[in-house]
Structures are given as C-alpha cells and as structure tokens.
Amino acid sequence: MPTPPNRPNLKVEQTETGMVVRLVGCGSLNEQTTPDVEQQLIGLAAELGGVHLVVDLAAIHYMSSIGLGMLIGLRQKLRTAGGQLSTRGVREEIYDMFDATRLTRLLDVHRDRAPG
C-alpha cells in the first residue's frame, strides 16, 4: 500500500494477522517529530478500528519520553476499539529504555522485524 500524502511517515501493509506500519522519513521520535507521527497513527487507528496494529520501529534510532507516551496512548485507543498494539524491530538501546521503564510489561515489544 503506497504512503498516502496525509500520512508521509507511515508505510502500511496488510498481513494475515493485522496491519504492519513501518515508520519512514524520521529517525527519531522526539518532541519535534512525535506530534506528526502520532497524528498519523491515531488517524490510521481510528480508520481501521479494532485491528492488530504492528508498529515497526526499525528505522527509529532515538526515542524520547514523548515517543513512549505516544505508544501508550495509541495502545489505549486501539484497546478501546477492540484492537491491540505490538512493536517490532526495536533497537537494543530503545528496548533497554522500554525495559528500564517497565513498559515491556504494558506494551508488546519485540526486537525482531515485523513480517512482510
């Protein structure tokens, strides 16, 4: 599925188990980039409803606390709609941050890449 102009940071692919979203065009989720990415992801989640959404973070080299907060909010919106959130392709240093903040207990976080 091509990247729509209103979602320049998302490449969306349908799989047998749900939707895989690869983040493109930004190497970090920080105070400058996260609001746009969040708006795109929330819009996609609202459009898709109760789906299993896999966010591939392989292109992300840095994530601040605002990026973590975005994922928590996205998880909640998906759960409210009957869906779920997983992350894949999480780099070691970012995984360590998820683990240190105990978000690995709340979020489905994986280092391996999403299929597709």
pTM: 0.89
Give the DSSP letter string of 50-113.
S-EEEEE-TT--EE-HHHHHHHHHHHHHHHHTT-EEEEES--HHHHHHHHHTTGGGTSEE-SSP
The model's confidence at residue 115, banded by pLDDT at 50, 70 and 90, is low
The number of C-alpha atoms within 13 Å of 107 and in the hemisphere containing its C-beta is 29
The model's confidence at residue 102, banded by pLDDT at 50, 70 and 90, is very high
Please name the CATH architecture into which domain 10-109 falls. 2-Layer Sandwich (3.30)
Domains of the chain: which residue ranges? 10-109
Averaged pLDDT for residues 13-30: 92
The pLDDT score that the predictor gives to residue 59 is 95
Compute and round to an integer the Cα radius of gyration of the chain: 13
